[in-house]
Amino acid sequence: MTKNNFSVEEVRAQFPALRFQNKDQVFPIYFDGPGGTQMVQGCIDRMLEYIETGMANLHGTFSTSIKTDALLEEAKQAVADLLNCSPREVAFGQNMTSLAFQVASSLKPSLQKGDEIVVTQLDHRANVDPWIFLAKETGAVVRFIPVDKEKLVLDLTNINSIINEKTKVVAIGLSSNLTGTISDAKKLFEAAKKVNAITIADAVHAVPHLSVDFQELQSDILFCSAYKFFGPHLGIAAIKKALFEQLEIPKLQPAPSEIPYKLETGTQNHEAIAGLCGTISFIESLGTGENRRQRLQAGMKAIEAHEEELMASLQNFLRSIPEVTLYRASEEIKKTPTFAFRIKGIHSREATEFFAEKYNLCIADGHFYASTMAEVFPVMDTGGWIRIGFAPYNTLEEIEIFKKALKDLLLMKSRE
């Protein structure tokens, strides 16, 4: 049995950045979760503890080195429980993008001319360009799963021809960092597995909002990034043992050739890895259950339930404002609490500047590297999209302030 343990006041108390006022003594309202969340106290504590009690490199005889070896193992086990994989399948790196390029390069021997790689129009380019690079290097062909412009979901009409006998890699984002659309990656990976393709999941925007299950997804490779889920700037890759062992990753001659260490080229960010342990403990503290995996799943469910409530409030409001065009899939499609919209007659940068200056609202604008979408919907002439994305520390009261800010902006513009 798993249970939730969620109180937004208690959660907020664990994020020191929320108490840091601007020059006008206004508290910040962080609505840019998809760009990166604030760091939870447990993460900061573990990071500081690692630094203050002595840092070291690996595999030494002295205590701080022994401590660092143990820390890396602890962190891999924590990630394994978060994602449901083995700690031997978990590797750390600078960020998701760098890890994806590294993996793309090491997949070169698995592909040849005429093979096909499938990516999507909905995805962040970090889950597109590394695979385009792989295609260029090997002579493979890249095929895009298009986005349905009306429904804002992947258009799977021609999926049986897009994923075919020639397909060797299928890279799918679990959820869009622009529209919040959650794609049915499991179904696409099942199709990919039928033709023995390698399946790659970009879980960067999913892990902060959903309980992700590496095994159940049938993904061979999964990426996420801890700074998107209340942690440090640190990239994470989970790679199925059998595939990981085969990967030819460029490495220094004396460096380990065993998994998962062979992907961790050079010295890792040990303090960030310490922080990650505290971050995962925070998620665990939000749920109850018999083991850590269950508590993490329950913790993520608690976050989801809170964010559902926030989502409903903002969605209803945005839909009620005639000047707002919201890019959001319909009710039956599952989505993360991430809203992309534009305001008629107002450049997106002008709007976010207004929100920031007048209300200390941290709201981003642009294409968010989901830039294929900015070609499908040519929006960049007016600054792209305005994006609001929630984190567990956001509240209904903060949304009310945004509603006031938007009405204020519209009023000001109507008077110009």
Ligand X SMILES: Cc1ncc(COP(=O)(O)O)c(C=O)c1O
Q: How far apart are CB 145 and ligand X at their closest, in Å?
A: 15
Q: Could you tell me which residues come within 8 angstroms of residue 92 by beta carbon, excluding any fewer than 6 positions away?
A: 72, 75, 234, 235, 236, 237, 264, 268, 269, 273
Q: Which of 124, 143, 301, 335 binds ligand X (CB under 6 A)?
A: 124
- Measured between alpha carbons, how far is 152 from 173 in angstroms, rounded to an integer? 14
Which residues in 343-372 contact ligand X (CB under 6 A)? 369
Query: Is there a contact between 386 and 365 (Cβ–Cβ < 8 Å)?
Result: yes
Q: Which of 104, 204, 263, 379 binds ligand X (CB under 6 A)?
A: 204
Is residue 147 involved in binding ligand X (CB under 6 A)? Answer: no
Nearer to ligand X, 65 or 105 (CB): 105
Three-state SS at 207: coil
Q: Could you tell me which residues come within 8 angstroms of residue 86 by beta carbon, excluding any fewer than 6 positions away?
A: 80, 241
Q: How far apart are CB 243 and ligand X at their closest, in Å?
A: 20
Query: Is there a contact between 154 and 122 (Cβ–Cβ < 8 Å)?
Result: yes
- Measured between alpha carbons, how far is 368 from 353 in angstroms, rounded to an integer? 17
Query: Is there a contact between 224 and 203 (Cβ–Cβ < 8 Å)?
Result: yes
Nearer to ligand X, 177 or 372 (CB): 177
- Measured between alpha carbons, how far is 118 from 169 in angstroms, rounded to an integer? 6
Per-residue buried b or exposed e for 142-154, using 16+ beta carbons within 10 Å of the residue's own CB: bbbbbbeeeebbb
* DSSP bridge partners of 90: 238
Is residue 90 involved in binding ligand X (CB under 6 A)? Answer: no
Query: Is there a contact between 82 and 283 (Cβ–Cβ < 8 Å)?
Result: yes
Stretch that binds ligand X, among 15-23, 120-128, 328-336, 358-366 (CB under 6 A): 120-128
What Rg do the C-alpha atoms of the chain give, in angstroms? 22
Q: State the DSSP code for 333.
A: S
Q: Which of 177, 218, 348, 372 binds ligand X (CB under 6 A)?
A: 177
| Amino acid at position 378, single letter | P
Is residue 235 involved in binding ligand X (CB under 6 A)? Answer: yes
Q: Which of 39, 43, 82, 96 binds ligand X (CB under 6 A)?
A: 96
Q: How far apart are CB 125 and ligand X at their closest, in Å?
A: 8
Is residue 287 involved in binding ligand X (CB under 6 A)? Answer: no
Q: Which of 37, 86, 97, 120 binds ligand X (CB under 6 A)?
A: 97
Is residue 126 involved in binding ligand X (CB under 6 A)? Answer: yes
Is residue 93 involved in binding ligand X (CB under 6 A)? Answer: no
Is residue 202 involved in binding ligand X (CB under 6 A)? Answer: yes
Size of the site for ligand X (CB under 6 A): 15
Is residue 225 involved in binding ligand X (CB under 6 A)? Answer: yes
Q: Name the residues that contact ligand X, by CB under 6 A.
A: 34, 95-97, 124, 126-127, 173, 177, 202, 204-205, 225, 235, 369
